[in-house]
Amino acid sequence: MTQITGIKLNSIVKRFGDVTAVNNISFEIKPGEFFALLGPSGCGKTTTLRLIAGLETATKGTILFNDQDVTRAEPKERDIAMVFQDYALYPHMTVAENIGYPLKVRKVNEKEKAKKVIETAKQFKIDHLLDRKPGQLSGGQQQRVALARALVHQPKVFLFDEPLSNLDARLRLESRTFLKHIQSKLGITTIYVTHDQAEALALADRMAVLKDGQIRQLGTPQEIYEQPADSFVADFIGDPPMNLIDCRLNPIKGNLEILFPGIKVTIPEEKLVLNKKVDPKKDYIFGIRPEHVILADRKGDIEGKVYAIETLGSMTLITLMVGDSRVRVNTHEMNLGLKIEQEVPIKLNYDMVRIYEKESGLLIK
């Protein structure tokens, strides 16, 4: 049985000449955890993964596997299975040989190997391609061969770098579900890199959101979705995205005035308890997810005017003009009978409102 491995990164810096790809990152991954690294292109995800694999050497900081310092250890000493962004299959080997390669290296007998190769290939629907060479496959097929090769054996750690990016939507969902299933079953520590926030939310036990080589937030998908730590994370996570509206805040006599472009809302102060004293001269961002804006029957907190109605199947996305801002409302109700330009009252779930300082981006509620 493979030992379950915990991973610790302590103040890792990686520079390429004068480019700082990873800028002082620290995090800890528990044994058996599914951990996602999420962030926009160029934020340092692949570099972080390659450092953990031993394919790059850190400029500063240390990496531990359990309590063992592996900062300078060779990749082969780390017992990792990695699926790269560009999948790197062996071009001269058939699909079956590619998938079976990790077992061959570990001297697993032929019969056992053949069985495992077919089993794994079936999971990714590539069992009809076993005799082909990688050059005779589509991008998506190659990607699935790379995944099958990683999952055919049980390493200490799985590292995945955007492994589903070349698959069509349906296949991506199926492969994602299979990955989640197999990882939960095997309990092998996994780090999964993606720029797709939905994928990170769906797969991860915990995740880190990266920007410019730094961690902006670390937590469970639910924590990050419900309480984005800054306005970058708030904007990056969620589809449809969070409503983020510039505003001014003005506390007067037990009330809080919220001045949105073109409209003012006054609410009792206790509805929106802020953890910092507000400055009426400063700019703030008012954040609320589309599912926390509620269409009211009669009297609401604010009036909106219907701008567009989009049917998403299980949901309806309604965009309203509130003052001069567009506000998205996501509802399960289907036949609302709304018309374009119609005035509708809305209520806000103030518990779920987030307020950020515009300048620093920091969360104050």
Ligand X SMILES: Nc1ncnc2c1ncn2[C@@H]1O[C@H](COP(=O)(O)OP(=O)(O)OP(=O)(O)O)[C@@H](O)[C@H]1O
Is 4 exposed, middle or buried, given 0-12, 13-18 or 19+ CB atoms closer than 10 A? Answer: middle
In whole angstroms, the minimum distance from the beta carbon of 285 to ligand X comes to 25
Do the Cβ atoms of 266 and 304 come closer than 8 Å?
no
Regarding 47 and contact with Mg ion (CB under 5 A), the answer is: no
Site string for ligand X, 258-287 (x = CB under 6 A): ------------------------------
Query: Residues 78, 116, 149, 195: which binds ligand X (CB under 6 A)?
Result: 195
Interface with ligand X (CB under 6 A), residue total 13
57 vs 342 by CB, closer to ligand X: 57
Q: Which does 78 bind (CB under 5 to 8 A by kind): ligand X, Mg ion, none?
A: none
In whole angstroms, the minimum distance from the beta carbon of 96 to Mg ion comes to 29
Interface of this chain with Mg ion, residues 121 to 180, rule: CB under 5 A: none
Distance (Å, rounded) from C-alpha 320 to C-alpha 303? 9
39 vs 134 by CB, closer to ligand X: 39
Residues forming a β-bridge with 356: 285, 363
Distance (Å, rounded) from C-alpha 308 to C-alpha 285? 23
Site string for ligand X, 20-39 (x = CB under 6 A): -x-----------------x
Q: Which does 41 bind (CB under 5 to 8 A by kind): ligand X, Mg ion, none?
A: ligand X
Interface of this chain with ligand X, residues 76 to 95, rule: CB under 6 A: 85
Long-range CB contacts (< 8 A, 24+ apart) of 125-129?
125/171, 126/95, 129/95
Instruction: Compute, in degrees rounded to 10, the torsion defined by CA atoms 337, 340, 345, 347.
Output: 90
Regarding 47 and contact with ligand X (CB under 6 A), the answer is: yes
Query: Residues 5, 46, 189, 325: which binds Mg ion (CB under 5 A)?
Result: 46
In whole angstroms, the minimum distance from the beta carbon of 215 to ligand X comes to 13
Query: Residues 7, 38, 44, 231: which binds ligand X (CB under 6 A)?
Result: 44
Instruction: Compute, in degrees rounded to 10, the torsion defined by CA atoms 44, 50, 56, 57.
Output: 80
In whole angstroms, the minimum distance from the beta carbon of 39 to ligand X comes to 6
Q: Which does 323 bind (CB under 5 to 8 A by kind): Mg ion, ligand X, none?
A: none
47 vs 120 by CB, closer to ligand X: 47
Query: Residues 5, 25, 33, 45: which binds ligand X (CB under 6 A)?
Result: 45
Going by C-alpha positions, the residue among 46, 39, 37 that lies closest to residue 14 is: 46
Q: Which does 47 bind (CB under 5 to 8 A by kind): ligand X, Mg ion, none?
A: ligand X
Tokens 């509206």 correspond to: 245
Interface of this chain with ligand X, residues 98 to 157, rule: CB under 6 A: none
Regarding 166 and contact with ligand X (CB under 6 A), the answer is: no
In whole angstroms, the minimum distance from the beta carbon of 242 to ligand X comes to 22
> Which conformational region is residue 212 in: left (phi greater than 0), alpha (psi within -120 to 50 degrees), or beta?
left
Q: Which does 214 bind (CB under 5 to 8 A by kind): Mg ion, ligand X, none?
A: none
* Dihedral sign of CA atoms 137, 143, 144, 147 in order: positive
56 vs 97 by CB, closer to ligand X: 56
10 vs 85 by CB, closer to ligand X: 85
Distance (Å, rounded) from C-alpha 13 to C-alpha 2? 30
Q: Which does 16 bind (CB under 5 to 8 A by kind): Mg ion, ligand X, none?
A: ligand X
∠ Cα 142 148 149 (to 5°): 90
Distance (Å, rounded) from C-alpha 127 to C-alpha 117? 9
> Residue 3 carries which DSSP code?
P
DSSP letters for 53-110: HTSS--SEEEEEETTEE-TT--GGGS-EEEE-TT----TTS-HHHHHHHHHHHTT--H
Binding site for Mg ion (CB under 5 A): 46
Q: Which residues bind ligand X (CB under 6 A)?
A: 16, 19, 21, 39, 41-47, 85, 195
